[in-house]
A = this chain, B = another copy of it.
Amino acid sequence: MDDGTTGPDLDRLARELETLGTPGRLVRDPAELAPYMRDASRAVPDGAPLALCLATTTAEVSAALAWAHASRVPVSVRGAGTGVSGGALSYDGGLILSLERMDRILEIDAENRLAVVEPGVVTAELDRACRAHGLFFPPDPASARSCTVGGNVATNAGGLRCVAHGVTSDAVAALEVVLADGRVLRTGARTRKNVVGYDLTRLFVGSEGTLGVVTEVTVRLHPVPPGTPRTFRASFDRLEDAGNAVTAIVNGPARPEVLELMDALSVEIIESFRPSGLVVPGGAMLVGQTVGEHAEAHARAIAESCAAHGAVDTEVSDSDALLEARRLSNPALNARGLKLSCDVGVPVAALARMLRGVEEISRRRGVRVSTVAHAGDGNLHSTVELPEGADGSARAEAVLDEVTRLALSLDGTISGEHGIGAVKLHELPWQLDAVSRDVQRAIRSALDPRGILSPGRAV
């Protein structure tokens, strides 16, 4: 059963898991481990992990963490591995804790608009199950069809519908969390209001696996709006005009459920990946969706607002094709091998200045940059094409650094929805000063004094 090279400790964990009598498995075969070592970022893990725990119950997670805590073994935690910040990379000599098999929807409480789920439930599956009750789960990251609710919680994931419904933390009412030493903590409540103790739920959401391992999530659901959604499109010759239109729309009376921006190069990349007849605009294209009884009127009002802000062409439709095009952005970029991108955010009124700035940086540095944005939230993903030559990678990184610093200069953020993980850690001091980092570290040490949870990442 054991070849003896991984040391006696692992045998103890294996025995403890066996004692529990549940189906969780401890995997030591390197070939079986390999797919669990990386995430969707370009980052490469160091060395070889000791083992993979495919947990199926809270008790198993608790046993695994108690063992890792006692043995001072670093732990990487993962759902579907769709993260793009390297937060789930395995550690040399570390334990990989996978929650993909904790994938049950435990309860849908339609009257209180709550669901209780295990962390390995795929986001789109939860959404689908809720729709049978006339409800939906608002977070919809681009990877919704493969990512898990636990991963959404770990990164406080966003998506297309945030402009209307907020981010993952707005959709989480309560958590069950296994702490670094194996103790089980319950946070939050099923009530809409609760001011008892600190808001630990919000502390764990977005903590990227550094404070504990989430084993159960109570999520808040929203009622499916009545009627048929409408989509809208507006094409602009000038990128900046599109940015100004976004500010007007989010401050106007007709609120969209989705409001996305694709610049000209993005549309070109998506259209050449899977042609759907989209005409590449001179500057940028806004696409979005309205819902509810007045979806049609609201979509038309938004299209008119775009025209008033310089759109050269607008369209309102009941087809989902426009949003599908936007959703193809990631696959299209991936197909070109374009993975060097950022996740900056700015206050929405600064969007036009930000877009103009990105354009200027691209031109000045002679590097092609495509930008898609959750425009209504001021959250931009700019992707650079790797320039040719030995210094191509460094030049591309320099462009993204400059884009990131521009966002910060506009009161922005270095990450709107992807998190810091391993990949962005060097940028953290750009946004958070020494006092803030001290406080983060103090909280982390208080909860994980031995530093076994995702060490060297996130904060």
Chain A residues within 8 Å of B, Cβ to Cβ: 109-114, 155-156, 158, 162-163, 167, 169-170, 179, 183-187, 189-200, 202-203, 205-207, 211, 223, 226, 247, 251, 253, 345-350, 374, 377-379, 411-420, 428, 431-433, 435-440, 442-443, 445-447, 458-459
Q: List 9 A-B contacts (CB under 8 A).
A: A109-B347, A112-B349, A112-B350, A114-B347, A190-B411, A195-B206, A196-B431, A202-B203, A226-B253
Do A187 and B349 form a contact, CB below 8 Å, given A192-B378, A418-B195? no
- Distance between Cα atoms of A419 and B377 in the complex (Å): 32
Q: Of the candidates B183, B379, B428, B436, which one forms a contact with A185 in the assembled complex, judged by CB atoms under 8 Å apart?
A: B436
Looking at A162, A184, A411, which has the most chain B CB atoms within 10 Å of its CB? A411
Residues of B near A206 (CB, < 8 A) are: 195, 198-199
Q: Which of B194, B251, B350, B446 contacts A443 (CB 8 A)?
A: B446
Q: Are B190 and A347 in contact (CB under 8 A)?
A: yes
Q: Whole-angstrom distance from the CB of A57 to the nearest CB of chain B?
A: 18
- If A442-B447, A447-B439 touch, does A413 touch B197 (CB 8 Å cutoff)? no
Given A111-B251, A443-B443, the answer on whether A192 and B377 have CB atoms closer than 8 Å is: yes
Q: With A113-B251, A433-B186 given, is the CB distance from A416 to B195 under 8 Å?
A: yes
Cα–Cα distance between A190 and B347 once the two chains are bound (Å): 6
Q: Verify A413–B193 contact, CB threshold 8 A.
A: yes
The answer to whether A195 touches B349 (Cβ under 8 A) is no
Which residues of chain B are near A438, meaning CB under 8 Å?
183
Contact at A112–B348, with CB atoms within 8 Å? Answer: yes
User: Could you tell me the distance between the alpha carbons of A223 and B437 in the complex, rounded to whole angstroms?
Assistant: 35
**How far does the alpha carbon of A437 sit from the alpha carbon of B197 in the complex, in Å?**
8
7 pairs of A and B residues whose beta carbons are closest in the complex: A111-B349, A202-B202, A193-B416, A191-B345, A446-B446, A442-B446, A112-B347
With a cutoff of 8 Å between Cβ atoms, the chain B residues found around residue A194 in the complex are: 345, 413, 415-416
Measured CB to CB, the closest approach of chain B to A122, in angstroms, equals 21
Contacts of A187 in B (CB 8 A): 436
Q: Are B195 and A415 in contact (CB under 8 A)?
A: yes
A430 to chain B minimum Cβ distance, whole angstroms, is: 9
For the complex, what is the distance from the CA of A123 to the CA of B200, rounded to whole Å?
Answer: 26
**What's the nearest-Cβ distance from chain B to residue A67, in Å?**
19
Whether B202 pairs with A199 at a CB distance below 8 angstroms is yes
Expressed in whole angstroms, the Cα–Cα distance for A190 and B416 within the complex equals: 11
CB–CB A183/B413 < 8 A: no
10 more CB-based (< 8 A) A-B contacts, given A193-B413, A197-B436:
A111-B348, A170-B170, A187-B436, A191-B347, A194-B345, A195-B206, A195-B413, A195-B419, A197-B440, A203-B203
A232 to B114, CA, bound (A): 28
Given the interface pairs A185-B439, A200-B436, A436-B186, the reply to whether A193 lies near B417 with Cβ below 8 Å is yes
From the candidates B109, B167, B193, B432, name the one contacting A167 in the complex (CB within 8 A).
B193
A163 contact set on B, CB distance < 8 A? 192
Contact B158 A193, beta carbon cutoff 8 Å: yes
User: Which residues of the partner chain B approach A432 to less than 8 Å between Cβ atoms?
Assistant: 196-197
Which of A162, A428, A443 has most chain B Cβ within 10 Å? A443
- A184, A198, A223 pick with most chain B CB within 10 angstroms: A198
Contact B435 A193 (CB under 8 A): no
